[in-house]
Amino acid sequence: MSNPPQFTWDDLQFFLAVARTGQLSTAARQLRSSHATVSRRIDRLEFALKVKLFERNPRGYVLTAMGTRFVETAERMEQETERLRADLADGSMAQRGLVRLSAPEGFANFFFAPVLPRFAARHPHLSLELVTIQQIMSLSRKEADISVVLDEPKGGPYFAEKLTDYHLQIYGSRDYLAKAPAITCRQDLLEHPFVSYIEEMIFAPGLDYLSDVHPRIKPQFQSSSIFAQLTATRNGLGLCILPYFFASRYPELVRVLPEEIDLKRQYWITCHRDLKQAPRVRAVIDFLREAVRGEDARFVPPYIVAASSPRRLESGS
C-alpha cells in the first residue's frame, strides 16, 4: 500500500495566500517569505495531493476546479486553527502577534497615529501594521485583519460595529476668503474653486459628498489624498469639505456657511467574523473603542452638541 499524501499546515497557509492573491510575489510579501519558497510549497502540496490546484499563466495563478474546492477545506482548517489559538492563549500570550489595520488616511493620520504611543505601552508584544491605501485592501482575502471603514459592510461573514459619528464642513483659508467674493448662501459657492477627491477614485460612497452641498459644484483641484486636499486649502487654493476633527486644528482655516452646511458620516470597525475572537485582533478592537470614546468630543463639534437636545443625541447614538 502506498503512503497517504503528506502535507503540513504551513503548506495550506501558502496555498491560501496564493489562492487569495493570484500572485506568488504578493503571497510572498504577505507571508514574509520569498517568491521561490512560495512556488516550492505549492509544488510540494500538489505533489502530496496528486492533484493540480492552479493553472499557471503569465498573469498569475488561477485556481482549478479542484483548487476551488480545496479552498473551502483549507479555510475551515484556518478558522479552526484561529479558534484553537484563541482558546489556548492565556493572559501572557493573548496579546502577542502581528495585526494589520486598514484605515482611511484622515482617521489614520489625524486620530490613530497620535494615540499609538498609548497602544504600544499597553501592548508591547503586539506588532501593528497601519495601511491607509484602503481601496486595495480586502478583508475577504485576509489582506487586512481589521478595517476602519466609512460605510457599514453589507452582507458577508463580517463583524461590524460603529465607532463614531464625525462631522464635515466647508473650509477656506482666511487669506483666500479675505480676497474672494462673499459667500452668503449655497449658490455663492459656485463662484469659488473647490478642492476634492478624484471622482473615479472615490473608494467609499461616504466620501462622495459634493453633491450633498450643491449638485453643480465642479472641483478645480482633485486628489486621492485628504492630506493633499488639506494642504491645498490651507495654502489658499479654494474651498474644501473637511472633517472637523482635523480641520479644526488649523487656525488659518475658517468654516463657510457653518449654520447651513454640516455633513455627518460614520466610522465603522470591521473584521472577518472568524478573526474577531483572536486575542491579537480583539486587543486592537478594544483599544480603538476605548480611544474613540475618550476623544469623542473631537469628532462632533461643540456647536453641534449645543444645538442638539440630550434626547436627540441619545437616539442618534
Q: CB of 131 within 8 A of CB of 144? A: yes
Of 275 and 311, the one with more pLDDT: 275
Range with the poorest average pLDDT among 55-64, 281-290, 304-313: 304-313
pLDDT at 168 over 90: yes
Helix axes 9-21, 35-49, angle to 10 degrees: 110
pLDDT at 317 over 70: no
80 burial class (0-12, 13-18, 19+ CB within 10 angstroms)? exposed
Name all domains of the chain by residue range, CATH numbers in brackets. Answer: 9-89 (1.10.10.10), 97-162+267-294 (3.40.190.10), 164-266 (3.40.190.10)
pLDDT at 92 over 90: no
| Residue 35: DSSP 8-state | H
Helix axes 9-21, 65-88, angle to 10 degrees: 120
Range with the poorest average pLDDT among 57-66, 85-94, 151-160, 286-295: 85-94
Of 137 and 276, the one with more pLDDT: 276
- Distance spanning both ends of the chain, measured CA to CA: 66
Of 317 and 48, the one with more pLDDT: 48
Q: Which residues face 194 on adjacent strands?
A: 239
Give pLDDT, residue 302.
74
Range with the poorest average pLDDT among 16-25, 166-175, 186-195: 16-25
Give pLDDT, residue 238.
96
pLDDT at 60 over 60: yes
Range with the poorest average pLDDT among 11-15, 154-158, 283-287: 154-158
Query: What contacts 40, CB < 8 A, 6 or more positions away?
Result: none
pTM, rounded to two decimals? 0.67
pLDDT at 232 over 70: yes
pLDDT at 314 over 70: no
Split at pLDDT 50, 70, 90, the class of 1 is very low
- Which residue, 304, 307, 204, is CA-closest to 255? 304
What average pLDDT is seen over the chain? 85
pLDDT at 87 over 70: no
Query: What SS3 state is found at 145?
Result: coil
By DSSP bridging, strand 253-256 and strand 158-173 are antiparallel
